[in-house]
Structure 1
Amino acid sequence: MKLNLQILLFLLTILAGCSSSSALYEKNELRREGNATFKERVQIRHAKGFLITYHKNYKLLQIISPFEKQADTATYLLVPRGNARPKGYPESQVIEIPVRSLVAMSSMHIGLIGFLEAEDVLTGLGNVQYVSSQRVLDRIKAGKIKEVGKDQGLNEELLLTMQPDLVMATGTPVSKMDRFNGLKAAKIPILVNSEWVETTPLGRAEWVKLMGALLNKEDEVNRRFDKIEKEYNRLAAVGTNAATKTSVITGMHSRDAWFVPNGNSYVCRFLKDAGASYYWEKTKAMGSLPLNFETVYPVALDADFWLNVSISNVKSKQELQAKDSRYADFKAFKTGKVYGYHLRANDQGANDYWESGAVNPQDVLADLIKILHPELLPDHELIYYKQLK
């Protein structure tokens, strides 16, 4: 009996030693990996176009159907600078993180960067004309941001000289991504950003979490987005519970078509959450529905409000009527309830609605509620929308 007790104590001592060695090994491994342990992680609740999963020494980013109607998925490996490429995923591009220099091919990406006040990483733009952000404009003026061109005018030689950590492109059904083949061959990663495909305002805005993952700012982006999400949901409860639903039409006739938001579009969701009645809200498709003037006309005659009139085409009701005299027949035109999102547009054609507005949907929603149901938000002053006089 005494011998058996001694053997048992001996075995327990060995097991305890193994456990201590294992814990010490894991602790050393975590220390060796450093930031690769990724203590802070983003969780996607609204966006459908991308996924981020966290692994021991890399983040796996998947852009789902980056070109809208194609069913493929683009995969990227986000690897801490200096770490070896993870095994597997031989076709995936590697992006070293945190990204220190970024070239954005669309000014819409400026909103994602500005959300985290990370304008200092922006070193190039496809076109520097359409910029609203003062911080970015200051960097352009200081020569810290270069214009790299786009499509057939892409300055590949300049980009190769710049050697950015990442080029962020826009994925559309007509995108010709082969124009970036030379950059890929030079090991400059090209990330396809398709936030415009999202069907809800919060889904579009949640692409800031992708930027957070690229910059290793998960904790910050989570905190900031949570505030936006909470405020948006609060306002949506106000708008959807409005006593009456005011009828609206949006956009205007251009190039032989009048594009109205489909029922599954983020614009339609904005209208619904703002307490609007929208004629095409039950069309189950994403994006816009092209219609002829004659189809929209009878709906527009009785609509209470006319929203999202393009300021690039007109700057007043008089100019609007000059485009087509039939506009003057609309109820909203007669009552002066015509609005565009051009309050923050500048003379160069840039519009902050497409920058900060894309990542601050709570402000856009507040504007819409103020317009449609002013009694619900009596103290709110319009941020992006402006009435056409």
Structure 2
Amino acid sequence: MLKSYFAAGRQIVTFCQFISFIWLFTACSSSSSLYDKTEEAFSRDLFPEKLKIKHARGFTITYRNHYKIVKIMSPFENRTDTISYVLVQRGTPHPKGFAESQVIEIPVRSLVAMSSLHIGLLGFLNAESVLTGMGNVKYVSNIKVMDRIKAGKVAEVGKDQGLNEELLISMRPDLIMAVGSPVSKINRYQSLRQAGIPVLINSEWVETTPLARAEWVKLLAALMNREADVNKKFSSVEKEYSRLAALTRKVKNRPGIITGMHSRDAWFVPNGNSYVARFLEDAGANYHWAKTSATGSLPLAFEAVYPVALKADFWLNVSITNIDSKADMLAKDARYGDFQAFKTGRIFNYNKRFNAQGANDYWESGAVNPHLVLADLISIIHPELLPKHQLFYYKQLK
């Protein structure tokens, strides 16, 4: 009787061990088919489609099996810092050795955008649905974003010193995309980072060519695991821009151009290494300040621009505000009436897509559609090269 009892017990133990082995084997097989538990053991490449940065110089992307390393050259307070981010696939281990880097889990599901340009990036990828907050909800051109704002799906979080940190912490977005500029400070977002909300700096404005500026859309694609989509779409933009630029390469007649207006105490003109100067070059224009070696804008006195403006054939990019007529311009300064372009009516501003809210789509979608901007410029300066083109961002002032 006792022997039978012990024999039965051994059979039960053996059976339980067998079941435990089967369960452990199944669990291990299942886990290996999903994500390995340790970084060292992680061998699957989760990102078969990679991004290659051809034009932009302000950021880099490096791929590992289950995470990406992003480095951004971010100008703050007249110096350049390199800020690193680790983009980790959700559900996988955080890699070691990146104590100084911010970790962003991807794909990003909720985003707060601090610039209208960021709306343009989202629109390029048809990804407006991830937007949950904006610095200012007033100046928006994107219809999908406007609908989300009306539906209460996008909160206004303020900007600069008026940033509503309590609201942002309560929202807990996956990411805040901020603007990097000499007047910004990365420490401005320190408390949000301490609260566990990653802040990524977007510094597309440092780029010196239109395609480089537009290529920052690839950064957003990396955050959303949309490499395949952006590679295909950006390649199309790149090819069309190159095709258009080739049209003007051999033109002999290059009309003179001036841009902007005098504002307060200076007239800001694009420097020779700026993306605007590159637009003008690719459009077949003769730009007086093309030889200046700096980027960004060059502040000049009205008297320095006046002799150039007197003879310029075209006057472009008149004002970022909604100036709609030559009369509006004369109201600013009667001397504008002396300019040749004013007399001939060859004045064009980039505010055709300016809406009732005061938003200008040129500063949203224009940044990621440089081929459309270039087509407009060529159509204005060399209409014979694109006789059927209808202006998209620009309009002629009457």
Alignment TM-score > 0.5, same fold: yes
2:231 corresponds to: 222
- What residue identity is the alignment partner of 2:157? V
Rounded Cα–Cα distance in structure 1 between residues aligned with 2:156 and 2:274: 32
Residue of structure 2 equivalent to 1:100: 109
> Counterparts in 2 of 1:271-350, with a 5 A limit?
271-310=280-319, 312=321, 314-350=323-359
Aligned-residue offset at 1:35 = 7.6
Which whole-Å CA distance do the structure 2 matches of 1:313 and 1:290 have between them?
A: 22
Contact 1:246 1:304 in 2 (8 A): yes
Task: Report the Cα offset of residue 36 of structure 1.
Answer: 5.1
Q: Establish whether residue 356 from structure 1 lines up as the match of residue 368 from structure 2.
A: no
Residues 151/277 of structure 1: CA separation in 2 closer, same or farther (3 Å cut) = same
Of residues 136, 143, 146, the one that matches 1:137 is 146
Q: Which residue of the partner structure matches residue 209 of structure 1?
A: 218
8 Å Cα contact 1:196-1:204 kept in structure 2: yes
The answer as to whether partners of 2:77 and 2:184 remain within 8 angstroms in 1 is no
Residue 349 of structure 1: how far off its partner (Å): 1.5
**Cα distance in 2, alignment partners of residues 114 and 357 from structure 1:** 11
SS at match of 1:199: coil
Question: Which residue identity is paired with 1:135?
Answer: K
* CA shift digits 1:87-144 (9 cap, x unpaired): 1121100000000000001111100111000000000000001100000000000111
Deviations 1:273-314 (A, max 9, x none): 000000000000000000000000000000000000115163
- Percent identical pairs in the alignment equals 66
Report runs of 4+ in structure 1 exceeding 2 Å deviation.
27-37, 65-69, 176-179, 239-243
User: Could you report, residue by residue, the CA deviation over 1:158-213 in whole angstroms, capped at 9, with x for unpaired residues?
Assistant: 10110000000000101033231221111100000000110000000000110110
Work out whether residues 379 and 385 of structure 2, in 8 Å CA contact, stay in contact via their aligned partners in 1: yes
> What is the TM-score when the length of structure 2 is the normalising length?
0.89
Match of 2:79 among 56, 70, 73: 70
User: Does the residue aligned with 2:76 lie in a helix, a strand or coil?
Assistant: coil
- Name the SS for the 2:177 alignment partner: strand
2:380 aligns with 371
Could you tell me which of 154, 160, 180 is aligned with 1:151? 160
Deviation at 1:30, TM superposition (A): 8.5
Question: What's the secondary structure of 1:64's corresponding residue?
Answer: strand
Q: Distance in 2 between matches of 1:35 and 1:264?
A: 43
Classify the secondary structure of the residue corresponding to 1:65.
strand
Distance 1:315 1:60, change over 3 A: same
* 1:47 equivalent in structure 2: 56
Alignment partner, residue 241 of structure 2: 232
Residue 76 to residue 239, structure 1, CA distance change in 2 (3 Å) = same
Separation of aligned partners in 2, 1:190 and 1:183: 8
CA distance in 2, matches of 1:71, 1:31: 37
Q: Report the CA distance between 1:319 and its aligned residue.
A: 1.3
In terms of Rg, which structure is larger? 2
Deviations 1:15-61 (A, max 9, x none): xxxxxxxxxx9x95887459853101100000000000001221000
Q: Does 1:265 align with 2:274?
A: yes
Quote the Cα distance in structure 1 between the aligned partners of 2:296 and 2:245: 21
Is 2:90–2:106's contact at 8 Å kept on the other side of the alignment?
Answer: yes
| Cα drift, residue 70 of structure 1 | 1.7
**2:88 aligns to what?**
79
| 1:108 alignment partner, SS class | helix
| Mapped partners of 2:244, 2:260: distance in 1 | 24
Q: Which runs of 5+ in 2 are unaligned?
A: 1-28, 37-41
Coordinate RMSD, CA, aligned: 1.7
